[in-house]
Structure 1
């Protein structure tokens, strides 16, 4: 694990950090870790772009989009949903 030292932290920032940590039931150190983890977590857009890139790579490996979609069985090949009796 790495250690980071933050120098010249404004007193107001430190005070707000202390309050925020207390509100979340964490130490100031744990609160700073949570803030940093959230700041560098991939955004929803980045996750979607990564998923699309994986899909495109899978399509390319399968021989292209057409071959990939051809591998999906036709809708009429699925069995119909079964009926469920929920009683009176």
Structure 2
């Protein structure tokens, strides 16, 4: 797991983190992890696979359509795009 050092953290901020951690029953380090996790990976975030699945469902794409497309493409991976 990666370690992060936060320099020049104001004492008031550190004190507020310690209080918040105590309220939530965590260590200060655990509280910082929870805050960072919530900030970059919020619970309500839309995941790409779910979004694409929802788009396909709204467009009326059926499993048979996907099977036919895979068969037409020979089930080979797509060629990467070239931006030369």
TM-score range normalised by the length of the shorter chain: 0.5 to 0.7
Q: CA deviation at 1:47?
A: 1.5
Unaligned runs of 5+ in 2: 67-84
Structure with more contact order per residue of length (Cα contacts < 8 Å, sep ≥ 6)? 2
Scaled by the length of structure 1, the TM-score of the pair is 0.57
Higher radius of gyration, 1 or 2? 1
Corresponding residue of 1:63:
65
Q: Which runs of 4+ in 1 moved over 4 A?
A: none
How far, CA to CA, are the matches of 1:62 and 1:21 in structure 2?
Answer: 52
Scaled by the length of structure 2, the TM-score of the pair is 0.59
Q: How many pairs were matched up?
A: 63
How far, CA to CA, are the matches of 1:51 and 1:2 in structure 2?
Answer: 29
Corresponding residue of 1:39:
39
